[in-house]
Structure 1
């Protein structure tokens, strides 16, 4: 029930604290999992005071337990251990503080941790977070490299020194965080968000040296894995050594075996690139030289062809052919003209032979009667008719004085 209060009738502090304590007391016994961030054993006290922190968030709570409960845990508890606590939520009214009074503490063993990691890996894999098509390619030459690692750690030194040795002009944005323990994930998540939001950062490296499975647990945390999967910037995982394989290796866009390997993968080696450029230039010159040599040989072969070596020989040959054809054409035309002239002469001779003029030139004449037609028989004229006599040269007019019929038959 809500407590009724007003400015005129405020509720005393003790009543508020007692009410909160009553509400919390109704929760009953619960199991809570977390990581031990602090252990305080006070001399002469039968109570042990613990601080239990959430591995994925900056949230912690106080846990109190009897020394006999604490000492029965095997192996002995130490700061950083992952534990499961069975207890009752408790609210201490005089100080208004919340805690859990633990009646049983179980340390999460390595086998159970590995089993949980396998279950988480299967769950995330089923969601497609490890699919190759989600992987983003690394830039060839990043403008700026984001680095998340422990402060003054060997991993930070390996990445920076090897990267600058390979490419002296490379720029870094370094975010120093805890890389193990309960504070690691709560510090890495905001650092990752800052680097991913920076437009100048082209690639992000998360680096840490080797360690035990418990030391590397933050890099298998579900919240961190999902944050890396959601990054728009390519992420390189460089956790531990070659045998170490946190889940971060599976979701990252590239998995480097060591921090040194990450530096080699992220930035190119300027000496190697210069050698590669020089080799490409030599190959290009050789290719150009081969092309020029091949073209020069082809041009020489073209020049040695008869049509180019002696171009006028073809013209001379064609001139001789033209002269021969002209001579043959003239001879043919001449022969045809001669034959035509002979034929014309023969035809002219035949025409002349058949012409009446030839007959007249031999002394004959043509006699035309009064009607103008040739007289072939005496019966065609009568005495007194005027006849027109045509000779080879000139003509005569004659009058018929006598008509004498022919007594000899004509042939």
Structure 2
């Protein structure tokens, strides 16, 4: 890559005055500009015609030196002070001898309250549209934090209110206090540094940002966009306790919990040990009453069970049931014997009838059964004399035996 300016080579470098002059020429081409920021380090010594100021960007750690005639600075009513938000009409100037850049101001305007409020309102709408105020993003602080991070002014009433109320409610609470500027040009950078430090601390479970009341200008750092986005990105729950009840900087909308005052923050960051002890006592009393009620109910049920006859005298029901079993056994035995007797009697009667009606009884009364014996020796009952020829073999069965006979016709009979 070749140098666009011939002559600036290692063999033929530019002298410092040439570089300074060229930079001054480029800066002079910028012309006058309007710049907005916060004033710090205002220096206007008596008897001098030039005042020196530092103009700082409220959202970043960037600042520039401003020079102006002391008359421009003293023309303001009320006088400008550190932390004031201003508009400056100035021309960038590069001082060749010192190699420094500054703004030469010919007009300084204080930003009015109305303009500041309008800017806060525009920022509020922007952040609300991005969802930074959404209640679903807010986290619930722990019931009893191990350590509380507190960002507040050094030896301020807000610090005293938070510490006194928190330790009064829970004496064992631990704090990590980060003292910062809570108004003016250095407030936002210091609060951001403290917020990042506390968010990185693994022992800190909740962060409280506290400041007492003040004017709209005093509370401007707590509506700063950089601070609001840092609080939104915080992993640790953040409580906002800025000003009094009517004060509502934008930090109240972004923080996870809004406390009306630092005193309220001290009460909400930790529980009240007396109230918790009372709740424990109430819970123990309710548990004791519930247990006693359950025991009493079970004792009554056990007493009722024991008072029943089956448990009061378990032998008598068994004896009674035994008697019933024996009675039923006797009845079953009598029924079976009666049935057998009846059946035996009926069988005897049937047998007698069969005996009476049978051929043996008839034979016993003097009758006989005559059977004709066939040629093959098989007998059959002879029912007519015509069935027996002369000389046929007969078998005569009597009551006590049988006889053999031969047919001989009776000449005089049929």
Q: Quick one: which of 38, 43, 57 aligns to 2:46?
A: 43
Q: Deviations over 1:32-70 (max 9, x none)?
A: 111121222232333322222222233222222223333
Contact residue 74 and residue 107 of structure 1 kept, 8 A: no
Q: Distance in 2 between matches of 1:179 and 1:110?
A: 19
Mind listing any 5+ residue stretches in structure 2 that lack a counterpart?
A: none
The residue that corresponds to 2:397 in the other structure is: 390
1:199 aligns with 2:202: yes
Q: Which moved more, 1:48-57 or 1:324-333?
A: 324-333
1:216 aligns with 2:223: no
Contact residue 366 and residue 399 of structure 2 kept, 8 A: yes
Q: Quick one: which of 34, 53, 58 aligns to 2:56?
A: 53
The residue that corresponds to 2:106 in the other structure is: 103
Q: Which moved more, 1:210-219 or 1:89-98?
A: 89-98
Contact residue 355 and residue 361 of structure 2 kept, 8 A: yes
Q: Deviations over 1:359-393 (max 9, x none)?
A: 22112233444543444455555666665443322
The residue that corresponds to 1:352 in the other structure is: 355
Q: Distance in 2 between matches of 1:51 and 1:380?
A: 169
Q: Helix, strand or coil for the counterpart of 1:178?
A: coil
Q: Deviations over 1:252-282 (max 9, x none)?
A: 1111122222122112222322222222111
Q: Which moved more, 1:234-243 or 1:120-129?
A: 234-243
What is the Cα deviation at residue 323 of structure 1?
A: 4.8
Q: Distance in 2 between matches of 1:249 and 1:333?
A: 101
The residue that corresponds to 1:145 in the other structure is: 148
1:12 aligns with 2:19: no
What is the Cα deviation at residue 161 of structure 1?
A: 2.8
The residue that corresponds to 1:406 in the other structure is: 413
Q: Distance in 1 between matches of 2:112 and 2:102?
A: 25
The residue that corresponds to 1:228 in the other structure is: 231
Contact residue 361 and residue 392 of structure 1 kept, 8 A: yes
Q: Which moved more, 1:376-385 or 1:289-298?
A: 376-385
Q: 1:27-176, aligned counterparts within 5 Å?
A: 27-176=30-179
Q: Distance in 2 between matches of 1:290 and 1:3?
A: 103
Q: Distance in 2 between matches of 1:380 and 1:111?
A: 159
The change in CA–CA distance for 1:41 and 1:401 in structure 2 (over 3 A counts) is closer
Relative to the length of structure 1, the TM-score reads 0.89
Q: Which moved more, 1:59-68 or 1:297-306?
A: 297-306
Q: 1:346-385, aligned counterparts within 5 Å?
A: 346-371=349-374, 372-381=379-388
Q: Which moved more, 1:219-228 or 1:355-364?
A: 355-364
Q: Distance in 1 between matches of 2:392 and 2:15?
A: 187
Q: Which moved more, 1:297-306 or 1:59-68?
A: 297-306
Q: Which moved more, 1:287-296 or 1:360-369?
A: 360-369
What is the Cα deviation at residue 9 of structure 1?
A: 3.0
Q: Helix, strand or coil for the counterpart of 1:173?
A: strand
Relative to the length of structure 2, the TM-score reads 0.89
Contact residue 239 and residue 256 of structure 2 kept, 8 A: yes
Q: Which moved more, 1:293-302 or 1:185-194?
A: 293-302
